[in-house]
Amino acid sequence: MLAVPILLLVLVPYAPTFGAQLPGNGKAKSPPVATNGQPFPWDRMRLPKTVSPLHYSLTIHPNLTTLDFTGVARIQLEVHEDTSTVVLHSKDMVISNALLLAPQGPRPLRFLEYPPSHQLALLSEEVLIKGRMYEVQLEYAANLSESYHGFYKGSYRTSSGELRVMASTQFEATSARAAFPCFDEPAFKANFTIQIIRESRHIAISNMPKLKTVKLPGDLLEDYFDTSVKMSTYLVAFIVSDFLSVSKTTRHGVNISVYAVPEKIDQTAFALDAAVKLLDFYDDYFDIPYPLPKQDLAAIPDFQSGAMENWGLTTYRESGLLFDPNKSSASDKLGITMVIAHELAHQWFGNLVTMEWWNDLWLNEGFAKFMEFISVDVTYPDLQVDDFFLGKCFEAMEVDSLSSSHPISTPVETPAQIQEMFDDVSYDKGACVLNMLRDFLTPEAFELGIIRYLKSYSYQNTVNSHLWDSLTNICDSDDLDEGRMKHKEFCSGRKPQAGASKWYSDDELDVRGIMDTWTLQEGFPLVTVDIRGREVRLSQERYLKTDDPSLTEGFLWQIPLTYMTSASTTVHRFLLKTKTDVLYLPEEADWVKFNVNMNGYYMVHYEGQGWSSLISLLKNNHTALSSNDRASLINNVFQLVSIGKVRLDTALELSLYLSKETQIMAVTQGLGELVPLYKLMEKRDMTALENQMKGFIVELFRDLIDRQEWNDSGSLSERVLRSYLLMFACVRNHPPCVSTATRLFNEWRDSDGNMSLPSDVNLAVFAIGARTPEGWDFLFEKYRVSMHTSIKSRIKSALSISPLQDKLKWMMEQSLQGEVMKTQDLPHVVISISRNPHGFKLAWDFLRANWPALVKKFDLGSHSIAGMVTGATNQYSTREKLEEVRGFFGSLTEETGSELRCIQQTYETIQDNIRWMDTNLPLLQTWLDRHSSNPGTQAHSQAHVDL
């Protein structure tokens, strides 16, 4: 699954969400009592392994008028231990009948329900014998869910205003149990045969192709779908709607279809082509044919996460699939391609080979996130994805630098705990660690190893160690006989200096030993480098934003260090396995840069003259380093200020080189480090310093901003950067930008919105237009009637960064109601308003006032809730605000969220902000006074909005 992007102007921010809410710590309170008052025969959250399902036959009949559904589930079971009890999952449904289908005829089963664990116990009068097969049948009814998980109701309005209802599924992580009784854990894989009863005005689609349709009485039809491959319950999917579709066939003969509401079917062509290209790529790269005859992609009008990888029927937000070449922006194109690449990668990583349990979710999500970049780099080189990968690692480090972080592989049991695993650590850190491993092993060896992993464990479940074993001694594998020629050539042509032996000899290669240090402990290392002539003294410690040094003790990583020097372009390698070590440079050098291109998931601090030499290099010849190297220096130096390793004025001196920077990764990272400094001030009464800081940043980037053209020309990275810079400049009231945006908005409004604005700059234009009540109302009306998701998305962002407080409050209320502004977008709206200096108090008040409704709609532990919690609070920096935040979250119960990790992250972030302000405000004031030639000249009287 892919989490929806929720930050305004984060370039292609795709990263997770779903499931059911359940507090508790794994063991149900003992002894559990069923709903009828009798003892319930099982007291653990995880199901017993006495029986397992082999096949489900499901008949589902949704009624889109009464908004409920009935179902019959026949489950074929294999018995592993003699038992008279079958325990499985069931949630929010009424079971009307339970039968054991025996050769001598059906026999009724007694059943007990235990809602706290979502469990159902079937009690047989006869013992079910080990080694035998049995079949049970359950008849049930339930309401279509009002949330975004389970089998839930969705709706959309046509251009004429007619409301149309549909029903679709979202089962990951723990919501299949709300649509049919099942063994709802990923290791209970089975085959599924599905039948859907519907009205003739609708269609039904599911994981597998439709075999036939049978007419039933009452103008009803029953669709029969082919039996699925063996898969986990969370991957089952079905949709009943009035969607239309377009189709194509891949080179490998797989039928690809894209489904959307009828009036948006003309926005599906790009996604269809991308899906064909990407599925063909994966088919070849993994050397394993896609095992189903078809792959559908459906754009769902109501969808909480970004997308979902249901096998054969991937589902998406409309914004993640629909593209109009005349109205969608460059970042829309990149985002859509990446999300399709992510979900199609899951067809192998996650669907074909699935983690044993949710503690290893990263085996699904980290791989899918990583493969987005590998696949799109090859299939769409014009999208320049290499310019964006590093941003994922910086995002992961942001949460991984707190003591509330968690290891990539973490024990979880309850649905709420499972939900919380769908975060930046599982997705982005997972991807960055895999990228580091690929660089360590070489791309060829890495590719060989993951093909071996997928072939070894197809249709099975895995744990971390299975992956590490597959990546060890790859050229000794028997699988090579079936592999492709290039793999044989790689292994046969391997010289002593090939592959991982660049680091040290092959017989020492312990992939598991190295990678366990990255997946089984939280956080990441800070490597300190002290260069004295040719001698380089190395040491490592955990990077942690804390005032308690003891929290950094006891951590040790095996770190694949890389470095380059002024003396040559060679990338040198060294595996740091101990707390301290020494290496020797081939020759003395003017400067040394460690972590080349930041392929490693670690930060670097340079002692002595190390930072001075790098700052001098950036000022005099910044292109001697790659843009990723420049971005990593910007990130590292400012993050080192937070833990007191580097003085703020050193970091600010380094930032001065940005006046010459033109590359997207370095520019956006520069803004990403500097803008938060004044965002902290906006929430305190320090207008003079705040405006001085804003003026400094605008002046720093003024030349680059003024060179931007108001059109859609250039490469994708140039276009995304243009959109970013013009938005920043307009929000900061840079006069040339405000003037052009105002003119364009007035012309657009005078044409009643019919004039075509360049898609990459219309967000800046809309943001200026939304500053007046008349402009805001005009934009809202265009939002209401637009059929283009990309336009609606940018208008919504512009509306949320307006200075008009009554409008901001109304916007959040409307989003919660979901009539005009969809509730799925509420988290984005709340976060955006939280960053708005005119709206942050409103967003915090709204979050507190509506907490119960938000948790019910979006789910405890979900990425949506976590995003709103951190978004509404993470720019506070006073002790008074910390107490206010603690007061609210401390008043919650475990059932309403008191144990959520995002709350601990919020406390830590505010404490870090307080320390930063206490330590650095005087330094910042002094430095700005010294470096602003005309202090205040850029500090315009109005300070609007987000950036």
Q: What is the layout of strands, in order, in the sheet containing 313-317? A: 244-249, 255-260, 294-300, 313-317, 307-308
Cα–Cα distance, 27 to 46 (Å, whole number) = 9
Query: Tokens 């999917």 appear where?
Result: 237
Name the DSSP class of 27: B
Instruction: Please give the structure tokens belonging to residue 786.
Output: 């637009």
Phi-psi region of 439 (alpha: psi -120 to 50; beta: other; left: phi over 0): alpha
Distance of CA 820 to the CA centre of its chain: 26
Tokens of 356: 């044993």
Q: Can you tell me which residue has the tokens 């922006």?
A: 329
Phi and psi at residue 534, to the nearest 5°: -90, -15
Residues known to be catalytic? 343
Question: Are residues 17 and 305 in contact, defined by beta-carbon separation less than 8 angstroms?
Answer: yes
Is residue 411 within 8 Å of residue 534, measured between CB atoms? no
Token pair, residue 377, equals 């780099």
**Residues making up the chain, counted from first to last:** 947
Please enumerate in sequence order all residues whose Cβ is within 8 A of that of 143, keeping only pairs 6 or more positions apart, or say none.
67, 68, 69, 92
Question: Could you give the CA distance from residue 311 to residue 730 in angstroms, rounded to a whole number?
Answer: 44
φ and ψ at 100, to 5 degrees? -100, 120
Residue 394 near residue 669 (C-beta atoms within 8 A): yes
Place of tokens 């707190």: 402
Give the β-pairing of 51-63 and 68-79.
antiparallel
What single-letter DSSP state applies at residue 425? Answer: I
Helix runs in 622-686, H state only = 627-642, 648-655, 664-682
Calpha distance 461→463 (Å, rounded): 7
- Reference 947, options 573, 652, 671, 575; nearest CA is 671
- Give the type of residue at 408: I
Contact 787, 321 (CB under 8 A): no
Q: Count how many Cα atoms sit within 13 Å of the Cα of residue 416 in the half-sphere of its side chain.
A: 24
Pairing status of strand 238-241 against strand 203-206: antiparallel
209, amino acid identity: P
Give the separation between CA 184 and CA 188, rounded to whole angstroms: 7
Tokens of 164: 């149309």
Tokens matching residue 170: 């979202």
Q: Exposed, middle or buried by CB within 10 Å (0-12, 13-18, 19+), for 650?
A: middle
Q: Is the peptide bond preceding residue 651 cis, with omega within 30 degrees of 0?
A: no
User: What is the 8-class DSSP label of residue 101?
Assistant: E
The residue to which tokens 């109501």 are assigned: 302
Cα 28 from Cα 35, distance rounded (Å): 14
CB 373 within 8 A of CB 389: yes
Which residues, in sequence order, are CB contacts of 201 under 8 Å at separation 6+? 242
C-alpha 316/C-alpha 327 separation (Å) is: 19
**Distance from C-alpha of 928 to C-alpha of 937, rounded to nearest angstrom:** 13
What whole-number distance in Å separates Cα of residue 176 and Cα of residue 79? 22
Residues 6+ apart with CB under 8 A from 108: 97, 98, 99, 100
